[in-house]
Structure 1
């Protein structure tokens, strides 16, 4: 599928997704579908900025590695 490159005029007319009607935003934004068997619970945790930066610097999958490390720590506590 070929597309022409955007011109300055195209960029000047462009809008951010957040500036579009909400109904359009919902169609465009990727939403994760329901899991077949939900296994994880979404939560919020606060990290020091340097700790979070170091975790993210390890690349994709850092949250899974943190989860695994916490699971291992919990095993050692019993």
Structure 2
């Protein structure tokens, strides 16, 4: 488990790990927003922070995204595999 933590801290969110992570509430895929350093659940409009390279996927740490902020204009979509 320590090795896993080092991968997150040194390289940010690994793309393979991002493919596995899902929203703890909706169980839908998350989108990485590098601009805000968070993981976005587009399904329910919640943003989860990434602190020191570790995603905080506790529902109480999530922040509801306002409808104006939910557009991808402030945070470009990072497609998997790119």
TM-score (structure 1 length as normaliser): 0.21
Q: Which has the higher helix share?
A: 1
Higher RCO (C-alpha under 8 Å, 6+ residues apart): 2
Task: Report the TM-score when normalising by structure 2.
Answer: 0.21
Greater per-residue strand proportion: 2
